[in-house]
């Protein structure tokens, strides 16, 4: 099961109450106030983890509460602090405040952590209020309540390459050929109901380039408005560096106009926003082993006109697969270096 959105309610622990007590012992004539402070309530902490890849555990258990602080005691004994709870989320999770819609945090790397609800401060005991002119105080404080929040969690996959295209154009078959991923493959619309990730390695041990490919469930016309599986998974393309669009050049699709197929997908990317239409793209003519020559010729003309790189592949026979793998690796490597240079330039300006 793939869950990419969940709503949770978190409650940090309340602080323990301060104690009012006086020390009365036989051999301590000036005992005085001895009420200890209450302990701080536990925090709710969220942490990104590479071991998790869905939000399904939040769907079935949406409420989390940290332990409250223990109350203060006599003899100046402070209460124990409440135990924090740590919520693990996949890398790529964005946390939004459910009430305001504000983005709270973006977990874009492993082992990032953030306190999403702070525990209440413990109350002061009456020993804290003793002064030279007020030696028997009866004042003491209750513990402060811990923070409560409702959050919406949204998961966007972190992949270098996103495979896009109509249903049944061969995206799942391609990812199974170039990586160790084994997605479900069948000849019916929307076989892929959840994004599949695969790690692709190119080169030898001394000069290896590895990158993550995401097989995004098939888009159709109107996807940006919710048709098919569109808006549910278009968001996963936002973080990819490179898009690879597959176009079925066989007659199996039942769609005679290959150029229209390509333009519909490009139109959906542009309509969704988030600058998806500005991402670098490689075009792939899939199922070349059973290709319609007119479709191939039309696709070549379109790619030449729009200066798109075109690769012809057959995931069944393996034709063109290696050329495509190396092309993707080369493009990803260039984009990574460009991104790194921009980050370093930004850091330099900030400094």
pLDDT of residue 273: 67
> What are the C-alpha distances in Å from 128 to residues 41, 82, 247?
20, 21, 74
- Are the C-beta atoms of 222 and 269 separated by less than 8 Å? no
The enclosing H or E element of 57 equals helix 56-60
The yes-or-no verdict on residue 190 having pLDDT over 60 is no
pLDDT in tens, 204-247: 767 778 888 888 775 655 444 444 444 455 666 777 889 999 99
pLDDT of residue 218: 56
Mean pLDDT score across all residues of the chain:
85
The yes-or-no verdict on residue 120 having pLDDT over 70 is yes
The CATH number that applies at residue 219 is 3.40.50.300
Residues 52 and 188 in one domain: no
**Per-residue confidence band for 167, with pLDDT thresholds at 50, 70 and 90:** confident
How many C-beta neighbours within 10 Å does residue 69 have? 31
pLDDT of residue 1: 39
- Are the C-beta atoms of 40 and 82 separated by less than 8 Å? yes
How much is the average pLDDT of 64-69?
A: 97
How much is the average pLDDT of 44-71?
A: 90
Tokens 């990158």 sit on residue = 211
Residues 13 and 129 in one domain: yes
Domain span including residue 321: 161-350
Residues 112 and 213 in one domain: no
Q: Of 114, 130, 155, which marks where a domain is finished?
A: 155
Q: Is 257 exposed, middle or buried (0-12, 13-18, 19+ CB in 10 A)?
A: exposed
Residues 202 and 277 in one domain: yes
pLDDT of residue 183: 52
Count of domains forming the chain: 2
Cα 270 from Cα 272, distance rounded (Å): 6
DSSP string, 61-77: --EEEPPPPPPPBTTTB
The yes-or-no verdict on residue 24 having pLDDT over 90 is no
**Per-residue confidence band for 186, with pLDDT thresholds at 50, 70 and 90:** very low
pLDDT in tens, 327-340: 999 999 998 888 87
DSSP state of 251: S
pLDDT of residue 209: 84
Cα 239 from Cα 274, distance rounded (Å): 10
- Are the C-beta atoms of 219 and 243 separated by less than 8 Å? no
């Amino acid at each position: 099961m793939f869950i990419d959105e969940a709503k949770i309610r978190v409650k940090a622990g309340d602080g323990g109450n301060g104690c009012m007590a006086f020390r009365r012992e036989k051999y301590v004539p000036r005992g005085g106030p001895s009420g200890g402070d209450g302990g701080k309530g536990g925090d709710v902490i969220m942490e990104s983890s590479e071991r998790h890849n869905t939000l399904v555990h939040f769907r079935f258990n949406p409420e989390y509460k940290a332990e409250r602080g223990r109350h203060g005691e006599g003899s100046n004994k402070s209460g124990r602090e409440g135990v924090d709870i740590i919520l693990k989320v996949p890398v790529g999770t964005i946390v939004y405040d459910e009430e305001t819609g504000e983005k709270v945090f973006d977990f874009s790397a492993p082992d990032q952590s953030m306190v999403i609800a702070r525990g209440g401060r413990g109350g002061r005991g009456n020993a804290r209020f003793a002064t030279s002119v007020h030696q028997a105080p009866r004042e003491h404080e209750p513990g402060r309540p811990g923070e409560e929040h409702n959050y919406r969690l949204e998961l966007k996959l972190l992949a270098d390459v996103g495979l896009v295209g109509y249903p049944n154009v061969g995206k799942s078959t391609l990812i199974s050929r170039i990586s160790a991923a084994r997605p479900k493959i069948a000849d019916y619309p929307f076989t892929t109901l959840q994004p599949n990730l695969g790690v692709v390695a190119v080169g030898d041990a001394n000069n290896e380039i590895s990158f993550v490919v995401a097989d995004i469930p098939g888009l159709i016309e109107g996807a940006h408005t919710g048709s098919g599986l569109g808006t549910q998974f278009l968001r996963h393309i936002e973080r990819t560096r490179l898009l690879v669009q597959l176009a079925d050049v066989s007659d199996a699709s039942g769609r005679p106009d290959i150029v229209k197929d390509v333009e519909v997908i490009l139109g959906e990317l542009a309509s969704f926003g988030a600058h998806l239409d500005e991402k670098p793209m490689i075009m792939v003519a899939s199922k070349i082993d059973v290709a319609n020559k007119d479709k191939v010729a039309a696709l070549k003309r379109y790619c030449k006109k729009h200066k798109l790189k075109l690769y012809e592949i057959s995931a069944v026979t393996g034709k063109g697969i290696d050329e495509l793998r190396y092309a993707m690796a080369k493009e990803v490597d260039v984009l990574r270096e460009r991104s790194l240079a921009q980050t370093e330039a930004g850091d330099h300006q900030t400094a």
